[in-house]
Amino acid sequence: MPYEFTTKPAPEITAFFEGKALKPAFHYRDVLPEEHAFAFTVAKAVKTEVLTEIRDAVSTAIREGKTLKAFQQELEPALKTLGWWGRKSMVDPKTGETVSAQLGSPRRLKTIYWANTRTARAAGLWERAQRTKRVLPYFIYRLGPSEHHRPQHEARSGTILPVDDPVWDEWFPPNGWGCKCWIRQIGVEEADRLGGISEAPVIDYVEVLNKRTGKTEWVPEGIDPGWNSNPGRARARNLINHFNARIEDAGAGAPEAAKKVISEFWSSRAPEAYAKMKERVHMPAAFAPDIAKRLNAPSALVVVSSDTVAMKAGKHGAVEVAAFGQLQKILEKGTAIDRRKDGKGVNFWLDADGYLWRAALRQSADGFLYIGTMFVSSANLMKAHLAKFGEWK
């Protein structure tokens, strides 16, 4: 039974795919496994217009829940118009040799559709799991509908481990070309009914030479080279870094556009998931060119670490993750109190939604702007700080 993406996906899935950057490549193995989490690549699609056409078609298929048949029917004519169809002679940029390369074909479109929709779903599942792991703390590994299964995949069937167990760093399906295995998130009661947490599986590795890079890699036996990563976990830091870079690029010519993107980010469920991940990321908090100029910062982008958000939202229950979406307003409209002499930063205070918010803007060793803390304070403390330090002039 062929894999069909027939339902509209959750926002995490579309966000994963649409956050990818184009990365032209002659061969799939030219791109590292972790890079596939934030880069869109199709082997032999070395021209930007071809890669863009394919990515847009995949994005539409994911967003609208299109079937494989619809995806193929709509994309094939466009690729033929661009000349990316059938077998053609191409020069391999790594070797300089001319080879007969398979470009577009119904089989290749099926592979492109399958690989991207499956990995996007996997990454979306990982992100949702980070938000819900207190209630559903385990993953269980299941086999897909394939007629034949790899022995190593069959051995994993029924494995139950905590969501953050390091085994999922590599054994997170899809685990190879055509792999239809899947992961389901479950609670304590169901895990107990199914036999409880599994013993940590022994992972055997095989040595694989990547002929494209000349490097030797150790890949878990049963996983195809290039698929030995968790698309959700690998995605976190790389996607946020790429996202931040895009905000900076957009803001250079249109600050309001950058602010809009940041606002939409905090209105989504993504920050909540990132705050619960073990991996530390720096999320976009505000775009402040005027402040950056005054502090001689190399970038107008202000970030806040997932650690900071997790600590304030967890330790100080009154601060919800979504509250950090007010940082743009706090930095623009708040009262700024100079703390640079002792704290090397500026504190911003703003009365909003019935609370007096305090946000501490700091600079890293290399001058970049970040939020050190944010919480609800008091008018008396604000007055005391004003008397002691004075407004930021």
DSSP 391: B
Instruction: Report pLDDT digits (tens) over 321-353.
Output: 889 999 999 999 999 988 655 456 799 999 987
* Mean pLDDT for the stretch of residues 2-14: 55
Say if CB 339 and CB 345 are below 8 A apart: yes
Amino acid at site 388: K
Concatenated DSSP letters of 236-275: HHHHHHHHHHHHHHHHHH-HHHHHHHHHHHHHSSHHHHHH
Instruction: Report pLDDT digits (tens) over 375-388.
Output: 999 999 999 988 88
| SS3 at position 107 | helix
Of the pLDDT bands very low, low, confident and very high (cuts 50, 70, 90), residue 19 is low
**Cα 392 from chain centre:** 37
pTM of the entire predicted model: 0.62
Other CB atoms within 10 Å distance of the CB of residue 211: 11
* Mean pLDDT for the stretch of residues 371-376: 91
More confident position, 17 or 190: 190
Concatenated DSSP letters of 324-362: GGGHHHHHHHSEEEE-HHHHSEEEEEEEETTEEEEEEEE
**What sign does the dihedral 152-155-158-162 (CA atoms) show?**
negative
| SS3 at position 147 | coil
Other CB atoms within 10 Å distance of the CB of residue 126: 26
What pLDDT is attached to residue 88? 87
Instruction: Report pLDDT digits (tens) over 246-282.
Output: 777 776 678 888 888 889 889 887 888 888 877 788 8
**pLDDT at residue 8 is higher than 50:** yes
Of the pLDDT bands very low, low, confident and very high (cuts 50, 70, 90), residue 70 is very high
DSSP 323: G
Distances (CA, A) of 228 to 101, 134, 160: 26, 27, 19
User: Going by DSSP bridges, is the β-strand pair 39-40/21-22 parallel, antiparallel, or unpaired?
Assistant: parallel
Of the pLDDT bands very low, low, confident and very high (cuts 50, 70, 90), residue 2 is very low
Report the range of poorest mean pLDDT among 109-123, 129-143, 247-261: 247-261
* Mean pLDDT for the stretch of residues 119-124: 83
Amino acid at site 19: G
Angle between helices 106-132 and 68-81 (to 10 degrees): 130
What pLDDT is attached to residue 48? 83
Phi, psi of 269 (to 5 degrees): -90, -5
Instruction: Report pLDDT digits (tens) over 300-323.
Output: 999 999 889 988 876 555 678 889
